[in-house]
Amino acid sequence: MTLEREISIHLALLEEEFWHKGMTAEEARLAARRAYGGVEQAKQMHRNERSLIWLERILQDLRFSIRVLSKNPGLTLACWPRLPWALVRRRQFSA
């Protein structure tokens, strides 16, 4: 199912719900659009969820870790083996 079709189904269901509450067809259509929010914003949020934002965040965390750990070589030797595990755990909790 395409994104356009899915959004139109959501809008139709909302419109029907408002129509059953006693609104006219035009009022129900406008109320459904207000309740759903911006269609373009919904599309963009969907695209963001399907993109590789999670990979960008992991790379950002990795760069920060390297920068911090390079300031203390002894700590780096102790922490470096644990870093991949910590990044995976952070990913699980941020999702």
Query: Does 63 lie in the same domain as 43?
Result: no
Torsion angles phi and psi, residue 23, rounded to 5: -80, 160
34-60 per-position pLDDT tens digit:
888 887 888 887 777 777 777 888 889
Distance CA 89, CA 83 (A): 10
C-beta separation of 85 from 61 below 8 A: no
Q: Are residues 29 and 62 in the same domain?
A: no
**Residue 34 lies in domain:** 3-50
User: Are 12 and 40 in the same domain?
Assistant: yes
46 shares a domain with 81: no
The confidence score (pLDDT) of residue 66 equals: 84
Q: Tally the domains of the chain.
A: 2
Q: Could you identify the residue written with the tokens 């950002």?
A: 60
Percent above pLDDT 70 for the chain: 97
59 with 74, same domain: the answer is: yes
Residue 61 and residue 40 share a domain = no
Residues 42 and 66 in one domain: no
Q: Are residues 19 and 43 in the same domain?
A: yes
What's the pLDDT band for 16 if we cut at 50, 70, 90? very high
Give the pLDDT of residue 1. 64
Residues 43 and 70 in one domain: no
For residues 76 and 43, state if they share a domain: no
